[in-house]
Structure 1
Amino acid sequence: MSTVRTVLGDVLPQDLGVCNAHDHLFLSSPQLPGQELREASAARAELSAFRAEGGGSVVQWTPYGMGRRAADLPLLARDTGVHVIAATGLHQAVHYTPELLRRLRGKLTDVFVSELTTSIGTSGVRAGLIKVAGGFHALDAHTRWTMTAAAEAHHATGAPITVHLELGTGALDVLDLLCGELGVAPQSVVLGHLNRSPDLTVHRQAAEAGAYLAFDGPSRAHHATDWRMPDAVRALADAGFGDRLLLGGDTTTAAARSVDGGPGMPYLLRRVRPRLELALGKDLVEHILTANPGRAFAVDWR
């Protein structure tokens, strides 16, 4: 039976409710100095605000070594009534020290499998997905290393693989590597940030390949992508790919949280949902927010 692995245990896909398919409760990176997501009280407030808008679940894409605070996630999920899914995986090399990356050489697959099947550290929390990242229109050696380990962990466990696409680029190269060379089923791959590169032809090709396509988070710099996003989603839906679409918030800095004056997690349901309902209709948007995440993140765990 397929289940979604949350921080409180495995649940049926239909129990997720309205799902924010890509966001962050905790996140630290040298690329975002002074903007770390570290405060549990702020994470709780953000989850509660999302819940107040009708949210039922959040998929946290924060991977290994970036301040996941996995041990805090079960209490936050219980306190707010929101299902939380945690991630293993590895981001781009710039987010880590060279020393940490050297320590992981030769053992990355084992780390991923352990965090999916046993525990993230001593937290007792098991990850429900593997998050990796591509580069800007390219796949460098670090990407190939991490994606190879992700594919091996996927084959060992069945876990879905989510992919940060840098500025939304490189989707087809990622699918060539993961699904072509490494044998991952396309329906086990979620491509993130496609809203940041509104190339409708690439979107269509990625959907035809069978991957899930995530449109996740308002732009911080390229605002034209925000108003193009509904058209991109509608084009995919009109082409028959409404069942491959996911929506998320991707809150990556403290200033972006709603409790600090930013859009935060509630923005997905307060602003994005009604805008998409105008373009797609309420029934399809509801399907994208509920049924699609259940399928994308549910696994017959091995």
Structure 2
Amino acid sequence: MNNKFVRTVLGDISPEEMGVVDCHDHLIKNGGPEMSEHIDFLMIDIEAAKKELSLFVKAGGKTMVTMDPPNVGRDVSRMLEIANHFKGKAHIIMATGFHKAKFYDKYCSWLKTVDEDKIVEMMIAEIQEGMDIHSYNGPVVERVKAKAGIIKVGTSYGVIDPLEQKSIRIAAKTHIKTGCPILIHTQLGTMAYEVAIMLINLGVDASSIILSHLNKNPDKYYYKKICKLNVFIAFDGPDRVKYLPDSTLAENIKWLIDNGYQKQILLAMDAGRFYYQTSYSETKGFKTYGISYMLTHFVPLLKEIGVSQEQINDMLINNPQVALAFKKAK
């Protein structure tokens, strides 16, 4: 009997119930330190978010992993309103954990000052008891029934900051005690192999490690080196020609498939800015592609260059069932 499960905000489900999965995305971002980089990171329109998720579902999607950690954009109450609206139609997984070090005060943030094992307890509580509705933004903690189903950590461009090293250790300890999967924000696709090695050496199950943003570092031999660790790569961000054209991303994915790594690839949009989403853009009179682009445009391109439906099903359906499933706690 398969006793593995995926933890959505409305309860645990079997991995097979997820259907087509977007493994890294955003529907609501309620401000926070990301806004120091750009106002586009403010996304608090519930109706626009519902419409965006509807477009994803209409295109064939079923599950979305929203990767906003506490203190950095996560909004539990708004996300629960969206999840309840889509009950029976779509699944939402939410994150606990951390982002890159830039978003934390290096002298007085709780990530800096609180003992590592106490933060592990905070993360475990979010996964096993319920998320803090305030997302650990202050001294008051009020838990809801909805639980986090993935741990996020972040690394910086070309380095792993001491605060990030601490968050990696915390994520590893939390994974070992809960079995919860871990997704890593790698800045511009750097330090991916290095953080994966750190996590594995700390005892994390390789099949619970997901590396995001490698599409921004189009080095297919680096991808191959990473895949040899038996971890997952979430290729997100088609429709981002400022980094590279879709054709480069598609061809690199096909190269990995041709080299035997189709069971380690996940797909996502990571449309985490206002104008990356169709429905948010419409509120300002703009026309843009959105989250559904992954299914309506990028998947057809993969088929055009020779990726089979079976291989696409692995990336969108079968591989997420392994990567997002809770493993047995140690």
Normalised by the shorter chain, which TM-score bucket?
A: over 0.9
Which string of whole-angstrom CA distances, capped at 9 and with x for unpartnered residues, describes residues 10-51 of structure 1? 001111011111101122323344221112111111111111
Structure 1 pair 207–131 and aligned structure 2 pair: CA distance change class (3 A) = same
Please state whether the residue corresponding to 2:68 is helix, strand or coil.
coil
Question: Which range is displaced more, 37-46 or 155-164?
Answer: 37-46
Please state whether the residue corresponding to 2:99 is helix, strand or coil.
coil
**RMSD of the alignment, in Å?**
1.7
**Would the aligned equivalents of 2:101 and 2:154 in 1 still touch at CA under 8 Å?**
no
Which residue in 1 is equivalent to 2:177? 156
**Would the aligned equivalents of 1:219 and 1:225 in 2 still touch at CA under 8 Å?**
yes
Please state whether the residue corresponding to 1:86 is helix, strand or coil.
strand
1:55 matches 2:64: no
1:273 matches 2:279: no
TM-superposed CA distance for 1:108, in Å, is 2.1
State the distance in 1 between where 2:5 and 2:83 align.
17
TM-score (norm 2): 0.86
Gaps of 5+ in 2: 133-142, 282-286
Structure 1 pair 26–294 and aligned structure 2 pair: CA distance change class (3 A) = same
1:82 matches 2:103: no
Rg larger in structure: 2
Which residue in 1 is equivalent to 2:121? 110
Please state whether the residue corresponding to 1:190 is helix, strand or coil.
strand
Percent identity, aligned pairs only? 30
**Would the aligned equivalents of 1:71 and 1:123 in 2 still touch at CA under 8 Å?**
no
TM-superposed CA distance for 1:222, in Å, is 3.3
What amino acid does structure 2 have at the position aligned with 1:149? I
Structure 1 pair 102–157 and aligned structure 2 pair: CA distance change class (3 A) = closer
Structure 1 pair 141–223 and aligned structure 2 pair: CA distance change class (3 A) = closer
TM-superposed CA distance for 1:239, in Å, is 1.2
Which residue in 1 is equivalent to 2:110? 101
TM-superposed CA distance for 1:176, in Å, is 1.9
Structure 1 pair 113–275 and aligned structure 2 pair: CA distance change class (3 A) = same
Which residues of 2 match residues 1-302 of structure 1 at below 5 A? 1-27=3-29, 28=31, 29-35=34-40, 36-80=42-86, 81-97=89-105, 99-101=108-110, 105-106=114-115, 107-121=118-132, 122-180=143-201, 182-218=202-238, 220=240, 222-259=242-279, 260=281, 261-279=287-305, 280-300=307-327, 302=329
Gaps of 5+ in 1: none
**Would the aligned equivalents of 2:104 and 2:111 in 1 still touch at CA under 8 Å?**
no
What amino acid does structure 1 have at the position aligned with 2:95? A
What amino acid does structure 2 have at the position aligned with 1:274? P
Which string of whole-angstrom CA distances, capped at 9 and with x for unpartnered residues, describes residues 105-158 of structure 1? 213212211111111112321000100011112211011010000000001100
Number of residues of Structure 1 aligned to a counterpart in Structure 2: 301
Which residue in 1 is equivalent to 2:136? none
State the distance in 1 between where 2:327 and 2:207 align.
13
TM-superposed CA distance for 1:219, in Å, is 5.9
**Would the aligned equivalents of 2:101 and 2:156 in 1 still touch at CA under 8 Å?**
no
State the distance in 2 between where 1:108 and 1:30 align.
25
**Would the aligned equivalents of 1:187 and 1:211 in 2 still touch at CA under 8 Å?**
yes
